[in-house]
Amino acid sequence: MKDDGSLLHKWLCDLFPLSRSVVGPGIDQSLEYLANLMGTASEYLNYPSGTIVNGWKIPNAWKLNSARIEDLLGNVIVSTEQNNLHLWSHSAPFEGQVTREELENHLLTLKEIPEAIPYATTYYKENWGFSITYETYNSLTETAYRVFIDTLIYPDTLKILEVVIPGTSKSEILFSTYLCHPSMANNELSGPVLATSLARYLASRDNNYTYRFLFGPETIGPICYLSDHVEALKNTVVAAFNLTCVGGGDEWSLLQSPSGSTYSDKIALELFKSRRMEFKTYDFLSRGSDERQFCSPNVNLPMVSIMRSKYHEYREYHNSLDDCNFVSATRLQESLDFYIDLLTLIDADGVLRSKVLGEPFLTNYFDYPSVGGRVDNSERSDYRIASQLIAFANDVTLVDIADRIDYPVLKLLPILEKCVAFGLIDVKPLKPGRSSYADESI
Amino acid sequence: MKDDGSLLHKWLCDLFPLSRSVVGPGIDQSLEYLANLMGTASEYLNYPSGTIVNGWKIPNAWKLNSARIEDLLGNVIVSTEQNNLHLWSHSAPFEGQVTREELENHLLTLKEIPEAIPYATTYYKENWGFSITYETYNSLTETAYRVFIDTLIYPDTLKILEVVIPGTSKSEILFSTYLCHPSMANNELSGPVLATSLARYLASRDNNYTYRFLFGPETIGPICYLSDHVEALKNTVVAAFNLTCVGGGDEWSLLQSPSGSTYSDKIALELFKSRRMEFKTYDFLSRGSDERQFCSPNVNLPMVSIMRSKYHEYREYHNSLDDCNFVSATRLQESLDFYIDLLTLIDADGVLRSKVLGEPFLTNYFDYPSVGGRVDNSERSDYRIASQLIAFANDVTLVDIADRIDYPVLKLLPILEKCVAFGLIDVKPLKPGRSSYADESI
Amino acid sequence: MKDDGSLLHKWLCDLFPLSRSVVGPGIDQSLEYLANLMGTASEYLNYPSGTIVNGWKIPNAWKLNSARIEDLLGNVIVSTEQNNLHLWSHSAPFEGQVTREELENHLLTLKEIPEAIPYATTYYKENWGFSITYETYNSLTETAYRVFIDTLIYPDTLKILEVVIPGTSKSEILFSTYLCHPSMANNELSGPVLATSLARYLASRDNNYTYRFLFGPETIGPICYLSDHVEALKNTVVAAFNLTCVGGGDEWSLLQSPSGSTYSDKIALELFKSRRMEFKTYDFLSRGSDERQFCSPNVNLPMVSIMRSKYHEYREYHNSLDDCNFVSATRLQESLDFYIDLLTLIDADGVLRSKVLGEPFLTNYFDYPSVGGRVDNSERSDYRIASQLIAFANDVTLVDIADRIDYPVLKLLPILEKCVAFGLIDVKPLKPGRSSYADESI
């Protein structure tokens, strides 16, 4: 069961107006919306506000009722009714008249994009503030303004929504995504809606690997989750993907793992090559999302991010231009297609080993010119490719072999499936710690 | 005892007319001819027709008495009296009149080389056919022809001729070659006659390593042999060479092992460099001979092929132009010289280790300027080279050191021999699984 | 306590006139001069003349009283009163009249530098000889000359001066230097005076590692020392430096270890990069000093030489132009500064490991923009660099991380120190055999 890009776009537009933060009703409603779509069991993990987790304090819930700046005549300058990015996330309640000078300390603008409202937060410092366009900023000529901020800050629980789709093997593929951002579409509603669609797809079929999806707030979410799941993940995860920025921008991007050589890195590269896609590669030095937690030294999971235009690299990033128009149904469809290819490939891949001593009698299985001695060595017939596949099926992955024989991995996959069906190749699931195969092994 | 290239050429011309196939009198007589030359004990291994070996069925013997196409007036168009390549190998007996249209289904020509008769086989499908030149093909203007094929197909045994020349060490160097092809000289009579000469040479001297030579049919021969010898070979073989295409063509070629980094690969490279020879390197992806079996995943022997012009890469390949003129005594002599250098080097090589703590007092062993403090650091004196050799004799091979210090391995060999005689370096035989030394180890 | 370059230059000038050799009063007085400066305990190791050590015979002591060539009228042509390089080191006593032809067999000149007296020795062959300038050589027009050589050769003991400065860890940093050369300044008095200054510096502070300094004659000195200390060194040494040619020439040079990838190699590279210095790299093939012993196969210590212009590579090498003017106080100061940076870095380095699960809450420790969501990813703030450091603190060294994140290691050091103080990173001393970290480990 594969969803359509326009359905993903509808979900995204439904979620867009909610005022999400790390903890609070905005993210809770968003998670519940996605949980209802999932088509399989899901579970909430709860981490109470105020708990210290590995040096981080779980914030209180934050609820935005409304906030605005007025001039002294009562004319509304900006209001969260227009766009909830106007108020800095976690702004404390406030009401009062302030001079323009005082107000300036609580304003943020984006001079380089005069029509955009920048995204800002004040999670860990009690404060309040407004983000306004540079155009609005220039119109503030009065000497004083009135500020109304109706927010609630109160203890609650940080929530992680977890979906596990069991497979034949206990080895796991992990997908992590986050939705603590308020009204922004590519970063970050595209990841959660794509993750939901992938979970629906996997739930509708039988799988070799177990798939785990995590939805929650960025950074503190994985930190909480890892605090009580790190050992379990280390024992099972063979590939991991951070789902972010998958709905907008014209480019494709790969943020590599620290080593750049895990199975997750390699499958991304081979899939890009196989699909003849141009893409940019970013070293782990340019990281900026939840791989910061999952690839950290005491966690060391093999995680990469396969994105459209990367966070920090596109104009609409972290401002009000990242809206439902920036993310299109077409882009979501393309990303879904890519990731379904990824899942198809990964679920069939593993540690490949020839079951034959020497070459098999391939003529039994694949078409061969009936008059021998006349083989065109360069031909790319199934016969020849199967022969290459078996020749290198020496405890490496299909992804490794695609790289070694320089053949598109998606075209190699049906040939592998035939070889497995014919009893010529055995595929064992990847195991943690074996997910990275150095080139020299073949 | 080193043979002359012209002697090898004579053997080759003696064997040329025999009508060889995988099983049958042609290959049996050829093997017997070589066994009689060997100058040391040899043994036949027998594998009966019809036996299934790793999914392959050992064919029946095939005996060609005669075959021809005539026109209806009795004029002979082509006949195996002229050239036994005219009949497809393993053609079934047949006699009868056929229309030109019917005949066309049983004809093969080489349009791109109009004067050549292509080599063809029909081992695994009961059929018959003729290979004719494109020139002859164009002259077939009659509406019907008469075909006479007198062949015999009957159960017999596939034979492998095995020659083992024991050395001080049980570690083995393996040479494999094949002669199932009918009247073609470079591919494949040059390999068997060179192998015979190498065995004669080794049998006439004392050796450190044990040398094993295998002669039989291509592909199915090694598959049979491996079926009951694979574990023994894995426990002993430290370098392996497939001998093919060593008599013709102007180029030199190296077909690498799957990893390209075994000891066999390295010694080939260093020997080419040391002899200042130009050569082409072919990745294992371009394989096409018995390395397909010996390098397959469950065998994994360190085999390469050091050839003149590679199969598939020269015009005369697999057609009647690959005759006794294409292979010259000079080419055979050059190949023999190369391989004797290879044997000389390999037999003296092994795992080298300095026996000294720090540098030895080399002045005792090699000439040194008698006034100290005035050494020209760049000079390539034996003194200086011995010093480099000992400095890197750190559990690596002479071939590794030649590469590391960028010095011709054949010039390094006599210096190693002196260092061994002086008790400065110890050489232990290579062991299986230690035959590949990664560069980083030095 | 850090010395001034001019103080090092004074020591060097004090030592310059002494007639040093491998064994004898010249080197003994020189060692004693340095021992008195050391400011910490030192010890002499004694190896008697005539002892055979690993195939080398320890020479007798050699004492030069005076030597000269006169014409028959008593005019002095050359005399060791002018320069002790005039007499070949270890020349036997001799007095007599010789023809010019006979004299020629005992003369050495440097035609390419006509004003220079070349350095020569005759340690292992009983002989005598004079080194003279090419200018003097051309003036020898008489038919006979008188030669007076007053030297003493007698059994004594070869001495190694050893200084050990204990640290918290038993892991050691080894410095080796030598001073068996007569009146030459860069090669080799610069090494010993710098080593002395480094020992004084280390003795004045607390250290994490143990530091060992060896002073003695070149080649035979380390051979003697290794004969009874090799196992101890193998068990403790994690980095090693040969101190030579550190006082003169405009270039900086690195002579690499055999592998080129030990911790010693890496720290040299990162330090050069961090200090924005140009330098030349020399492969171990160009070795020519005591790394020949310490890096030999059965010793295998991770030693490099960080030099100014390398021996053999500058005009003044091994002749009388290598004097107290060639080595300047400024050059000695620059080398001292470099090596003190090296010691500062090495003593703080080790195997780094993050103590945090995931990323730490860095805002507690480093300045961070108070409004979140607006981080400039490219900025090189301490916050960002600390984040990179912790992200890669995965059982590798600070030097490895500097290379991986391409950030100057000397700027990284204070950030590491903060991270250690904050309890974010743990640093364990390097252990022998772990001193080389391959790039692929990060």
- How do the pLDDT tens digits run along chain B, 442 residues long? 799 999 999 999 999 999 999 999 999 999 999 999 998 999 999 999 999 999 999 999 999 999 999 999 999 999 999 999 999 999 999 999 999 999 999 999 999 999 999 999 998 889 999 999 999 999 999 999 999 999 999 999 999 999 999 999 999 999 999 999 999 999 999 999 999 999 999 999 999 999 999 999 999 999 999 999 999 999 999 999 999 999 999 899 999 999 999 999 999 999 999 999 999 999 999 999 999 999 999 999 999 999 999 999 999 999 999 999 999 999 999 999 999 999 999 999 999 999 999 999 998 899 876 555 555 544 568 999 999 999 999 999 999 999 999 999 999 999 999 999 999 999 999 999 744 433 333 3
H or E element at residue A135 = helix A134-138
Beta bridge partner(s), residue C372? A121
Q: Which two tokens stand for residue C308?
A: 């100014």
Amino acid C125: pLDDT: 86
- Rounded alpha-carbon distances, angstroms, from residue B397 to A212, B357, C24: 49, 19, 42
Q: Other C-beta atoms within 10 Å of C203: how many?
A: 16
Amino acid B370: pLDDT: 54
C101, C103, C180, C85: which is closest to C148 by C-alpha?
C103
Task: List phi, psi (to 5°) of A327.
Answer: -95, 125
- Report the half-sphere exposure of C141 (CA within 13 A, side-chain side): 3
Amino acid A373: pLDDT: 56
Using an 8 Å CB-CB cutoff, list residues of chain B that contact chain C: 353-354, 356-361, 363-364, 370-374, 377, 387-388, 390-395, 405-406, 440, 442
Residue C208 CB partners (closer than 8 Å, separation 6+): C167, C168, C169, C347, C348, C350, C429
pLDDT-based confidence at C436, cuts 50/70/90? Answer: very low
Beta bridge partner(s), residue C158? C47
Q: For residues B256 and B265, is the Cβ–Cβ distance under 8 A?
A: yes
**Radius of gyration over every alpha carbon of chain A, rounded to an integer in angstroms:** 25
Alpha-carbon span B200 to B204, nearest angstrom: 6
A169, A177, A219: which is closest to A194 by C-alpha?
A177
**Interstrand relation of A303-307 and A253-255 (parallel, antiparallel or unpaired):** antiparallel
C372 CB neighbours in chain A (<8 A) are 89, 120-124
No. of H helices and E strands in chain A?
A: 12, 19
Identify the chains in contact with A, defined as 3+ C-beta pairs within 8 A.
B, C
- Rounded alpha-carbon distances, angstroms, from residue A41 to A200, A216, A339, C120, C377: 11, 16, 21, 87, 38
Average pLDDT over residues C152-165: 98
Task: List phi, psi (to 5°) of C233.
Answer: -65, -45
C439, pLDDT greater than 50: no
Mutation target among C285, C286, C290 for the B interface, most CBs of B within 10 A: C285
A160, A233, A163, A229: which is closest to A195 by C-alpha?
A163
C85, pLDDT greater than 90: yes
Identify the chains in contact with C, defined as 3+ C-beta pairs within 8 A.
A, B
B133, B359, B121: which is closest to B217 by C-alpha?
B121
Read off the amino acid at residue A7: L
pTM: 0.94
Q: Other C-beta atoms within 10 Å of B236: how many?
A: 18
Q: How many Cβ pairs closer than 8 A exist between chain A and C? A: 92
Q: Using CB atoms within 10 Å of the CB of residue C161, give its burial: 0 to 12 exposed, 13 to 18 middle, 19+ buried.
A: buried
C54 → closest Cβ in B356, B370, B377: B356
Report the C-alpha dihedral over residues C334, C335, C338, C343, rounded to 10 degrees: -140
**Using the beta-carbon criterion (under 8 Å), do A296 and C358 form an inter-chain contact?**
yes
C108 CB neighbours in chain B (<8 A) are 371, 374
C390 CB neighbours in chain A (<8 A) are 296-297
B330, B293, B283: which is closest to B308 by C-alpha?
B330
Read off the amino acid at residue C254: L
pLDDT-based confidence at C438, cuts 50/70/90? Answer: very low
C353 CB neighbours in chain A (<8 A) are 297
Q: Where are the alpha helices (DSSP H) in B88-245?
A: 100-104, 134-138, 190-203, 220-236
Alpha-carbon span A212 to C224, nearest angstrom: 64
A312 CB neighbours in chain C (<8 A) are 377
Report the C-alpha dihedral over residues C381, C384, C388, C393, rounded to 10 degrees: 90
Report the C-alpha dihedral over residues C99, C101, C106, C107, rounded to 10 degrees: 110
Q: Which residues of chain A have pLDDT under 50?
A: 377-378, 434-442
Amino acid A374: pLDDT: 56
Amino acid A439: pLDDT: 33
Q: For residues A158 and A219, is the Cβ–Cβ distance under 8 A?
A: no
C442, pLDDT greater than 60: no
Alpha-carbon span C12 to C185, nearest angstrom: 7
Amino acid B440: pLDDT: 33
Q: Using CB atoms within 10 Å of the CB of residue B45, give its burial: 0 to 12 exposed, 13 to 18 middle, 19+ buried.
A: middle
How close is the nearest chain B Cα to the Cα of A273, in Å? Answer: 19
C178, C135, C196, C190: which is closest to C314 by C-alpha?
C190
Amino acid A1: pLDDT: 78
**Radius of gyration over every alpha carbon of chain C, rounded to an integer in angstroms:** 25
**Using the beta-carbon criterion (under 8 Å), do B356 and C298 form an inter-chain contact?**
yes
Residue of chain C whose alpha carbon sits nearest to that of A131: C371
Alpha-carbon span B245 to B335, nearest angstrom: 10
Q: What is the pLDDT of residues C342-383, one digit of tens each?
A: 999 999 999 999 999 999 999 889 987 655 555 554 456 899
Average pLDDT over residues C32-57: 96
DSSP secondary structure letters along B168-182:
SSS-EEEEEEE---S
Read off the amino acid at residue A316: E
Q: Which two tokens stand for residue B300?
A: 């994994």
- Unique residue bearing structure tokens 């049980």: B170
Amino acid A370: pLDDT: 54
Q: Where are the alpha helices (DSSP H) in C217-295?
A: 220-236, 263-274, 291-294
Distance of CA B424 to the CA centre of its chain: 36
Higher-confidence residue: C205 or B378? C205
Q: What is the pLDDT of residues A249-278, one digit of tens each?
A: 989 999 999 999 999 999 999 999 999 999
A373 → closest Cβ in B55, B119, B438: B119
Amino acid C373: pLDDT: 56
SS3 of B427, please?
A: strand
**Using the beta-carbon criterion (under 8 Å), do B295 and A371 form an inter-chain contact?**
no
Q: Which two tokens stand for residue B133?
A: 């030149």
Angle at B413 (CA atoms; ends B412, B416), nearest 5 degrees: 90
**Interstrand relation of C144-154 and C210-216 (parallel, antiparallel or unpaired):** unpaired
Beta bridge partner(s), residue C175? C213, C241
Q: What is the pLDDT of residues C274-331, one digit of tens each?
A: 999 999 999 999 999 999 999 999 999 999 999 999 999 999 999 999 999 999 999 9
Q: Which two tokens stand for residue C325?
A: 């003017």
Distance of CA C362 to the CA centre of its chain: 42
Averaged confidence pLDDT in chain A: 94
No. of H helices and E strands in chain C?
A: 12, 19
Alpha-carbon span C290 to C296, nearest angstrom: 10
